[in-house]
Amino acid sequence: MLSSALRRLPPTALACIGVLVALALLALAGPWLSAYAPEHPDWNALSAAPSFAHGHWLGTDAIGRDTFVRALYGLRLSLLLGFGATAIALVIGLAYGASAGYLGGRSERWMMRGLDVLSALPFLLIVILLLTLFERSLWLLLAAIGGYVWIDLARVMRAEAARLREQPFVLAARAAGASTLQILRWHVVPNLLGLALVYASLLAAQAILVESFLGFLGLSIDQPSAGLGTLLQEGTQELDSAPWTLLVPAILLVVTLACFQQLGDALRDWLDVRGAANTPDGSAHEPASATIPATSA
């Protein structure tokens, strides 16, 4: 079932998924390929250039740490934080947006005003404040990033839930006596899930970017573990002596972000077209009327 769903995806999306899976596997398994540990300095090779001869394939930094292994550990941390924060954002955004959209009326208005207030706050400043005030931990970082990126998702979910609210199948459930919670669980959330997952890949890009940004400011998880942002910051210090320490994490970050962004865009377009082609006009079996809106859109 999953494989048939994959086959129907547009080629761009498939390519992006392929690259991302490869990157994730590399981040997980890659460090085993190298003989070096990420934090262990090799005093015999300080600021060594990339070479196969001494086993530091992508070179080392000023204190002799292996760039290849360190970058992959960084990618691992960035991906972990990105996915974790996205999962948090997905849960909050979906629940909040679905409830606001389905409830409608006054509660919807207040919930959306709440979102407006949140997005008006200088969120990054607050995150930075939190991270400087409290002891930095993985969980705090996850909560901070997840709490930052869910707002847009909630808006999209609200609009779609408001459309679902007036659908006859939801009315029929209400007429049969279903409670608000039942309708949300059985009809609204399952029908939002596809759209939410598409937006999740855009969110993942945003979450990874925010994490790298915090890392670049030195606000991510404490050393010795380092995300891509932290590595970039270190790399800028050694731009003259060891440019590879900047280039490697930079390329990894760019490829990761571009893939998530492309994937999200491709999936969104694909979903839009399918949505237009399935307009319920009572003649979904008429090939002409079913394909025209898709092609003219």
CA 158: distance to chain centroid? 20
Rounded least distance, CB 167 to another protein, Å: 6
Q: Which residue in 107, 10, 38 sits closest to 248, CA to CA?
A: 38
Instruction: For residues 81 and 138, give the distance between their C-alpha atoms in angstroms, rounded to a whole number.
Output: 8
Query: 6 to each of 10, 88, 200, 202, how far by Cα in Å?
Result: 9, 25, 17, 19
Query: 81 to each of 84, 96, 140, 290, how far by Cα in Å?
Result: 5, 22, 11, 42
- Where do contacts with another protein occur on this chain (CB under 8 A)? 104-105, 167-169, 171-179, 182, 186-187, 190-191, 280, 282-289, 291-292, 294-295
Q: 173 or 197, CB closer to another protein?
A: 173
Q: 102 or 148, CB closer to another protein?
A: 102
Rounded least distance, CB 257 to another protein, Å: 32
Instruction: For residues 56 and 49, give the distance between their C-alpha atoms in angstroms, rounded to a whole number.
Output: 8
Rounded least distance, CB 195 to another protein, Å: 12
Rounded least distance, CB 152 to another protein, Å: 24
Q: 197 or 255, CB closer to another protein?
A: 197
Q: 133 or 176, CB closer to another protein?
A: 176
**Residue 215 CB neighbour total at 10 angstroms:** 26
Q: 35 or 292, CB closer to another protein?
A: 292
Q: Which residue in 44, 62, 39 sits closest to 54, CA to CA?
A: 44
Q: 171 or 254, CB closer to another protein?
A: 171
Rounded least distance, CB 284 to another protein, Å: 6
Rounded least distance, CB 52 to another protein, Å: 50
Question: CB–CB of 147/96 below 8 Å?
Answer: no
Instruction: For residues 39 and 31, give the distance between their C-alpha atoms in angstroms, rounded to a whole number.
Output: 12
Q: 35 or 171, CB closer to another protein?
A: 171
- Token digits of residue 169: 């199948």
Rounded least distance, CB 173 to another protein, Å: 6
How long a stretch of residues is the chain? Answer: 297
Instruction: For residues 257 and 227, give the distance between their C-alpha atoms in angstroms, rounded to a whole number.
Output: 14
